[in-house]
Structure 1
């Protein structure tokens, strides 16, 4: 079996931290010199990225344990145009309760200096300012803990470690009824003595709020204001950044013991809320983002055993949900795995309904389709399911008119293409859409979040138009009937911390501010034969899990598909020889690297009950063929100097 360990490298001095400005420092500019004597973790992130949000939460206990010797610096290197807006970045820092300094890197200067290739990327610097580790993806916290302890011991002995407070200075919290509301639901009048009320996920305060139709008068709160996980009464219950909510059909409420289902995103659970008793329960999800259970989970981390207890199944950032009559189940936008799960309210069974887990845009049978951080779901009157697929800035649709349900794309072309353009299927563009609703005429209203707009897609004509704009990151949209029998919109305006009513205009605007692509630098390849390697070194105290053979795996494909003539597909090992199509000069490589390691020292046996860990990273890598390009491509899954 091949040795997949990363070779030790020559010590490399860290590059200076360069950007537009700093957040969470009280206005102070930081430099590497000002951080000398501290262990530094550079977290390259962007606020649209679900994996980046996972890493923020993974780092919190590490930051607390080593608060006097460790400084995390979030290097915000944006994917979307909107993410380069400093006001939007400030809101994201507040929304996700980031408690470390953040460097605003809109031109990707620091990103390029550290050769980052994926969100998230972690780079560890020792107290003398040298790079000691380069990690991609999530799930590295155990290895980071071991590495930090090693560095503390080494540099305390050398006298180069400085203990004391770090440079973090907190920002003021938002005030008002809501703090970054996520999704909203109109409740049946029987839950409020004949009055129309609304249930809103008050995401940054980790609670659900029931409000009157004025959106300000609070009738009840469930959970919050601190994050946590606990079932029980409205006062006892705790959520962690709840997002989507769905009404349970009347005939299923007694079976579930709940009137509303909640996508409790950071707790990786589906929760139930009984509005009559004000009780919160857990219906599905173990609370562990990924379960590693022997060989099956190692090769397919999203595998769900038929008949499994729903409380034992690992979920990953459920973001929205809706009951589907055609599927006779709730469909759940599992943003963390780029899939749609199903949850049967009668049996409690969970299953993967759509998506392979590959991040991208691919239509066809649900089992073969690709999604990218789906964040909004609705059921249309005809029974089809519309999907806001945020990372591809796409409007997708699941239809049930054949033996096997299939996926179609209405708007959107891929992971790195977005914009603000109205028009037909070929030219229309969105930018990281999060919410949807169906209008009375059967068209679809879209919360086009990063464009700050509500758009309208007409399935009959295939055209996209604009209803209204100038909103602060709308994250959801509802339609309500007016007193005269007409219709208007209710918009969840997340960054304005409010719900607002918006008239539906008689004529749509036509906007064309241009199509855009992600500005990150494309990797230059020479074409022809390409050797790809994913570097991986197991953390100290862990060894590769070889009990079932090679514990590493590569899955490689491309857009367009014929860019790779040979070498695509899934196979063991972290090195692959690819043959590239000489007729194609630009493409996207889709690469997933995995490695499994368990607690135990190299050379020894893995104990029967050892904790095992799956390391995984997905790269969507833009490449161009040039005469000076490389014939070898090396990416770090976990590289340690």
Structure 2
């Protein structure tokens, strides 16, 4: 992104604000004349751009300081196809707490009329409608403050300044457990920890990904440590090895993105400590030194990687990778030059573009390089490390294409996870898809579509759990049959103990009791569904497939001692009140990946509880 600041252009009439529509105005269409008497700051941005997000944060104190005299208008001129989707823009405006009117400019009409060349660009228009200042890039707060102060003084003296409220109308605040979650990791307990980014906190869920165990954080934007911690749009999460966690006194490292900090969380009581960063954004100078004394810039994800001996940081804000040593407390540059682009080679000479997702693959550290729509990795190379690219060609090539890696296309991926078979799942965020890269063949395929901005993923008991960020929830979008193939031969890697069952014929029973005050919804046919598959595929002689009965007779093959049963069950229930004409209905769904071991002394019945109690056990 350009950082060139242009000189003021005297007495240039500001062009009209033209676009598809407006957000944050209560539905009102605005024109340039509606801002007469105010100092107007136009912020040309696109929501994929980390520099643009920095500017949003820089503008907040100015908007508060000059609330009566200044109106900020965001002009959203998209780079990626997904960013031109009005629903995606509306989600981004909420996600990033944009509290001023936003003009939707999908055809870049207003962008071109103002001769904008780079994201972000700021334009100041005086109360009489003339452009008085233009600046591209970030870090212009003090310059803007000076310009605004001068314009206010000039037009107050002329009588052309009108103080008062601006046209911003806040949208109705939705209520969901998660709001634009970022990343997820599996905890040793079997629970899931999610960064609840727009709620400025972390949420621990039970293994089902729906039952809240606890929330870590007050939910208020801030940076307080201790038992009532505060975060600011936290992102990546990294679980430390047990021996390291015991030594340093915390278990999880959090990329506290907008605070430009790394935080440590002690799982025993949720206590939070600041580990690295000063709270100020790094702009230049050294980015290596003692953690609390070294500034960071928008750490987006973190991952413990044993070959590096520490926590690698996806430093989206300056297109590098950092490295944090929990034992010494030091942080340093690990890879990258801060040049935005795509260049492989020695780690210290590589170019990145908004590194946004990391995954430990053993001898490889996989990473999603979002602005180049690339999947890349770091590996040991002699006495140092090297960066390689699997998928992606540059800053402006993107799309959705499967096939050989050199022909495949992604669109702004934000997350990666290593699957049990050694392939890599890619959260192809702006394509709304989960993709798969197979290192052995170099092939890219699509595992799932229609996932609302997947931003992070984790493998839990052989199953892929995905953060559907714009849907505000966790999902398991990979179909059971596909998931079965991905975990084939790798079931021994499942950490939880296998369930012993008898050989031959076994009854599998999914237990579901409608919640109190409800009943099964049988108005339109069967209200339940059960789908079963296995890995290896030959494990089940009978019982595989889909049906409507929650109890299924299974016949296990001889000669196979262990495997995994993949079970997906769902049941629809409605409020049971005859006086209500249109009762509220809900769908309960649960997926299981059950590692089993065939034993002559094992039981002949396998119950799986989806809701209620198993009265037969």
TM-score, normalization by structure 2: 0.76
Structure 1's 41 and 231: CA in aligned 2 closer, same or farther, altered over 3 A? same
Task: Tell me what 2:420 maps to.
Answer: 440
Deviation (angstroms), 1:480: 2.1
Q: Measure the CA separation in 2 of the matches of 1:204 and 1:333.
A: 20
1:207 to 194, 201, 204: 201
Task: Tell me what 1:414 maps to.
Answer: 394
Q: Measure the CA separation in 2 of the matches of 1:468 and 1:216.
A: 21
Task: Tell me what 2:211 maps to.
Answer: 217
Asked if 1:326 corresponds to 2:318, the answer is: no
Deviation (angstroms), 1:7: 5.7
Q: Measure the CA separation in 2 of the matches of 1:183 and 1:48.
A: 17
Deviation (angstroms), 1:345: 1.4
Q: Is the 8 A contact 2:404 2:444 kept in 1?
A: yes
Task: Tell me what 1:231 maps to.
Answer: 225
Alignment of 1:466-485 (within 5 A): 466-481=446-461
Q: Measure the CA separation in 2 of the matches of 1:198 and 1:266.
A: 23
Task: Tell me what 2:612 maps to.
Answer: none
Task: Tell me what 1:497 maps to.
Answer: 472
Deviations 1:179-232 (A, max 9, x none): 11100111002xxxxxx2111000000000111122222111111311111001
Q: Measure the CA separation in 1 of the matches of 2:327 and 2:128.
A: 59
Deviation (angstroms), 1:393: 0.4
SS at match of 1:176: coil
Deviation (angstroms), 1:428: 0.3
Task: Tell me what 1:356 maps to.
Answer: 337
1:313 to 286, 291, 294: 294
Deviation (angstroms), 1:42: 0.3
Deviation (angstroms), 1:444: 0.2
Q: Is the 8 A contact 1:243 1:319 kept in 2?
A: yes
Task: Tell me what 1:11 maps to.
Answer: 11
Q: Which has the higher contact order (CA 8 A, sep 6+)?
A: 1
Q: Is the 8 A contact 2:224 2:231 kept in 1?
A: yes
Q: Is the 8 A contact 2:8 2:133 kept in 1?
A: no
Q: Is the 8 A contact 1:467 1:505 kept in 2?
A: no
Task: Tell me what 1:303 maps to.
Answer: 286
How much is the aligned-residue C-alpha RMSD, in angstroms?
1.5
TM-score, normalization by structure 1: 0.73
Alignment of 1:565-576 (within 5 A): none
Q: Is the 8 A contact 1:177 1:216 kept in 2?
A: no
Asked if 1:28 corresponds to 2:28, the answer is: yes
1:198 to 192, 202, 205: 192
Structure 1's 181 and 223: CA in aligned 2 closer, same or farther, altered over 3 A? same
Task: Tell me what 1:248 maps to.
Answer: 240
SS at match of 1:255: helix
SS at match of 1:417: coil
Task: Tell me what 1:513 maps to.
Answer: none
Task: Tell me what 2:63 maps to.
Answer: 63
Deviations 1:558-608 (A, max 9, x none): xxxxxxxxxxxxxxxxxxxxxxxxxxxxxxxxxxxxxxxxxxxxxxxxxxx
Q: Is the 8 A contact 1:473 1:493 kept in 2?
A: yes
Asked if 1:378 corresponds to 2:359, the answer is: yes
Q: Which runs of 4+ in 1 moved over 3 A?
A: 4-10, 503-508
SS at match of 2:145: helix
Alignment of 1:78-157 (within 5 A): 78-157=78-157
Give the number of the structure whose alpha-carbon radius of gyration is greater: 2
Deviation (angstroms), 1:404: 2.1
Q: Is the 8 A contact 1:355 1:369 kept in 2?
A: yes
SS at match of 1:128: coil
Asked if 1:347 corresponds to 2:328, the answer is: yes
Please, which runs of 5 or more residues in structure 2 have no aligned partner? 484-617
SS at match of 1:420: coil
SS at match of 1:15: coil
Deviation (angstroms), 1:403: 2.5
1:273 to 265, 276, 283: 265
Q: Is the 8 A contact 2:9 2:131 kept in 1?
A: no
1:456 to 436, 444, 458: 436
Deviation (angstroms), 1:349: 1.2
Q: Measure the CA separation in 1 of the matches of 2:172 and 2:439.
A: 44
Q: Measure the CA separation in 2 of the matches of 1:6 and 1:78.
A: 22
